[in-house]
Amino acid sequence: MKITVPLINGLLPDKYGKFAPADDIKNGEPVVSFPFKLSDIPESTKSLALTFTDPDSIPVCGFEWIHWTMANISPDQLNIPENFSQTTHSAIQGKNSSASPLLGKPKSPFTTGYNGPKPPDTTHNYVLKVYALDTVLDIADDFWMNELLHKMENHIVDSTNLTLPSRA
């Protein structure tokens, strides 16, 4: 499997993160997801899933920030368009880290779906992982990432990841 994401000077374009236009920021969070293409999906794939996380956030907040999780993407959906997170009705999305009650923030309507990069200190390396699965998962909207990982156990046909740097 292969993931292709259009980068600018080796970085995720600003419009999908911290420097997004004001209209694309909701409740302080960038919400327009970046486009990407998938290729070489195994023929036995029944669905795809993805996670988009920030391991560089660990020294900043104490855990790997979850920016986006999605399940039950059709294996025929090889071109994931810009803003897929807000426009798809064919896949199921999980909570991002803004949903955490440990943050002490007021409840936001943008705790499910894409929550773009906002590195506070230096350029962070975000990781997009895509999984080809041999089943459509029995999972509901607003799942937590650990639930997704458990549901995928013994169903991963193939997986790949791509590191996407985003500037502070």
Q: What are phi and psi of 126, to 5 degrees?
A: -90, 150
Strand arrangement, sheet containing 79-80 = 2-4, 36-39, 79-80
Amino acid making up residue 136: V
8 strand-pairing partners? 11
Q: What are phi and psi of 50, to 5 degrees?
A: -145, 155
Q: Which domains does the chain have, with CATH numbers?
A: 2-166 (3.90.280.10)
Residue at token pair 């080796």:
10
- pLDDT, one tens digit for every residue, the chain (168 residues): 999 999 999 999 999 999 999 999 998 899 999 999 999 999 999 999 999 999 999 999 889 999 999 999 999 999 999 999 999 999 999 999 988 877 766 666 679 999 999 999 999 999 999 999 999 999 999 999 999 999 999 999 999 999 999 999
Q: Is 138 left (phi over 0), alpha (psi -120 to 50) or beta?
A: beta
Residue 27 pLDDT: 85
Taking the C-alpha atoms of residue 100 and residue 87, their distance in angstroms, rounded to an integer, is 24
Give the global pTM.
0.95
Residue 113 pLDDT: 95
Taking the C-alpha atoms of residue 164 and residue 34, their distance in angstroms, rounded to an integer, is 11
**Tens of pLDDT, residues 23-56:** 999 988 999 999 999 999 999 999 999 999 999 9
Residue 104 pLDDT: 67
Residue 106 pLDDT: 61
